[in-house]
Amino acid sequence: MNVSIINIGDELLIGQVVNTNASTMSKMLIAAGMNVKETIVISDDHDAIITSLTRCLDSSDAVLITGGLGPTKDDITKKVLCEFFDSHLVENQEALNNVKRIFAARGYELTPINRQQAWVPECCTMINNVLGTAPCMWFEHNGKVVVSMPGVPFEMENLMRTEVVARLQKNFATGRIINKNILIQGIGESFLSDLIEQWELALPDTIRLAYLPQAGMVKLRLTERIADSQPSSIDSLLPSLYALAGKYIVGEDCETLPELVHKKLTASGKTLATAESCTGGTIASKITAFSGASAYFKGGIVAYSNEVKESVLGVRKETLKAYGAVSEETVREMAEGVRKSLNTDYAIATTGIAGPTGGTLDKPVGTVWIAVAGPNGIETRLKKFGDDRLRTIERTCNEAFAMLISNITK
């Protein structure tokens, strides 16, 4: 079963908002055994919507549309769908009750423009959007399905999770798709490819392998498409992969290294603190994005100035003077300092020159020191990450997470 996704919105097309909806929707569809044929971003434009919808209905069994359902004048999706399906707008009582409930809860008065949110094409099935005022609309057309959802990410995600995916599965007979992620760190994509070439060549035809490089690491993804009754063969292929590349494999079944850190620390009952200079709070932010992080993450210090390194982390003035803020000695004292003062099992520290300015001959932009302190002692690592600021921050985070995972696993 093929699905195409059309994300409507000038803000997406001109690049002011990154389109996260496509990836969120794709992940959910793939996990439910459907095939995503293409995802398209177009303008809030009558002709673009009609043309893309016509074409996607030709090549796919279902077309999922997001966006253009707001109360403001630039949003035209509902009007265009009415025209496409030769229908007209009618007020939907359930949708109206929902709009009224939302306005009442916020203590706002219901204006005529907001009341129009409850009007939907007569030919569609209205699916209630409990998180917002724009209803979800389900159309059936010559055995195919068109679904229109709001573009607000959390509203769309809730509709997909609670209604749309299950209705699609029921409407079309779908098989299973199995995905397996393997997180690899410490080897570049092409060297990894050389290392596991024979294993890759021997993979069965039902399985696809993808190399997904992230900042400073590679995620391998195995994808298998099978019938509902058929068992997966992925697990039987892993021992030979480990035999070739085991020393670079950090973990499985996670999307990212912080997710793996979260799982391992949650399971171990050990605690963590951070002392960040060049990563500026990004490590703490990635950790605390997970619900439940408070069980193991006590806190962190963003020591962006030398003053804070000294006064809060207890890095010695002599160390800073003799070796500088970006040095093994300093990063070591940062990790030890935060581990001691926050009284945790593990501590991560980073210090470096994220750039693009601030480099010297000795310590060019991209020079980073990382330390991980734990019950088994402290490990430090020097990296040279190049001159892209945000990339250096991302790579430093991933290097630190990989060091921490290996320290926990020891």
Residues of span 175-234 touching its own copies by CB under 8 A: 179, 181, 188-191, 193-194, 200, 208-214, 219, 221, 223
Beta bridge mates, 346? 272
Q: Which of 26, 87, 169, 406 is the binder for its own copies (CB under 8 A)?
A: 26
Q: Is the dihedral of CA 36, 40, 45, 49 positive or negative?
A: negative
| Stretch 252-281 residues interacting with its own copies (CB under 8 A) | 255, 274, 276, 279-281
Q: Tokens representing 225?
A: 């498409």
CA gap 98, 117 in Å, rounded: 10
Beta bridge mates, 63? 4, 146
Q: Which of 91, 93, 122, 356 is the binder for its own copies (CB under 8 A)?
A: 356
Q: Say if residue 121 is preceded by a cis peptide, omega within 30 of 0.
A: no
How many C-beta atoms lie closer than 10 Å to residue 303's C-beta? 27
Q: Is 287 one of the binding residues for its own copies (CB under 8 A)?
A: yes
Q: Which of 268, 311, 376, 409 is the binder for its own copies (CB under 8 A)?
A: 311
How many residues interact with its own copies (rule CB under 8 A)? 103
Tell me, residue by residue from 94 to 123, as one string, x for binding to its own copies by CB under 8 A and - for no binding: --------------x--x-xx---------
Q: Tokens representing 142?
A: 């010559």
* Between 92 and 392, CB nearer to its own copies: 392
Which one of 61-69, 118-126, 303-311, 329-337 is the stretch in contact with its own copies (CB under 8 A)? 303-311
How many C-beta atoms lie closer than 10 Å to residue 43's C-beta? 16
Q: Where are the alpha helices (DSSP H) in 315-369?
A: 317-323, 328-341
Q: Is 382 one of the binding residues for its own copies (CB under 8 A)?
A: no
Residue positions counted in the chain: 410
CA gap 342, 303 in Å, rounded: 14
Which one of 9-17, 140-148, 241-249, 375-383 is the stretch in contact with its own copies (CB under 8 A)? 9-17
- Please classify residue 106 by burial: count the beta carbons closer than 10 Å to its beta carbon, then call 0-12 exposed, 13-18 middle and 19+ buried: exposed
Contacts with 227 (C-beta within 8 Å, 6 or more apart), sequence order: 175, 176
Tell me, residue by residue from 45 to 84, as one string, x for binding to its own copies by CB under 8 A and - for no binding: ---x---x-----------------xxxxx----------
CA gap 374, 196 in Å, rounded: 33
Q: Which of 90, 263, 388, 406 is the binder for its own copies (CB under 8 A)?
A: 388
Beta bridge mates, 252? 182
Tell me, residue by residue from 123 to 162, as one string, x for binding to its own copies by CB under 8 A and - for no binding: ----------x------------------x-x--------
Q: Is 40 one of the binding residues for its own copies (CB under 8 A)?
A: yes
Which one of 36-44, 60-68, 122-130, 231-239 is the stretch in contact with its own copies (CB under 8 A)? 36-44
* Between 87 and 232, CB nearer to its own copies: 232
